[in-house]
Amino acid sequence: MEQKREPITREGYEKLVKEIDRIKHVERPANIKAIEEARSHGDLSENAEYEAAKNEQGLIESRLARCEDLLARAEVIDPGAYDGDDIVFGASVELVDMESDEKLSYRLVGTYEADIKAGSISIESPVGKALVGRRVGDEVKVKTPKGERELAIVSVKY
């Protein structure tokens, strides 16, 4: 079975590579030292430091496996190469909430890069799915956790 490709920007790809490097060369060695230190304290059955370090090791290895899996499936997409009018991956979109007149700005990215505080949303999110394939001037209805919202697309940049 073929693995699902994961769209990612060049910046996201580079961030992912750095994260893997940091896990392998900083976090993992620090954890190994913590385990060795805890082992030196004797009886492992009642050693809370050892137990905590081993739990941390599991979390580190799990994060590393997820990152390496994503890197293997990553498909770097350059939104600057797109010259159409439709909203696609990598687009920066300005919207207006039709009810509240609130202005919203989002960049459509992959799940790994999504960070609502930084203004990046996943193309898999309800808003992202509603925007893909639309154009400036379109209005979309989106079911969100806060209820249904009607959004007008004001501008799109790549």
Give the burial class of 113: count Cβ atoms within 10 A of its Cβ; 0-12 exposed, 13-18 middle, 19 or more buried: buried
Per-residue pLDDT, 125: 94
Per-residue pLDDT, 1: 60
Residues 19-49: tens digit of each pLDDT: 999 999 999 999 999 999 988 887 777 788 9
CB 16 within 8 A of CB 85: no
Per-residue pLDDT, 97: 94
CB 20 within 8 A of CB 60: no
**pLDDT score of 156 more than 80:** yes
Neighbours of 31 (CB within 10 A): 19
Q: What is the mean pLDDT of the chain?
A: 92
Domain boundaries defined on the chain: 6-76, 81-157
Per-residue pLDDT, 142: 94
Instruction: Provide, for the chain, the percentages of residues in helix, strand and coil under a 3-state DSSP scheme, each rounded to the nearest 5.
Output: 45, 25, 30
The CATH number given to 81-157 is 3.10.50.30
Residues 94-152: tens digit of each pLDDT: 999 999 999 999 999 999 999 999 999 999 999 999 999 999 999 999 998 878 999 99
Instruction: Say if domain 6-76 classifies as CATH 1.10.287.180.
Output: yes
Q: Which residue has the tokens 């790549």?
A: 158
Per-residue pLDDT, 85: 83
Per-residue pLDDT, 67: 97
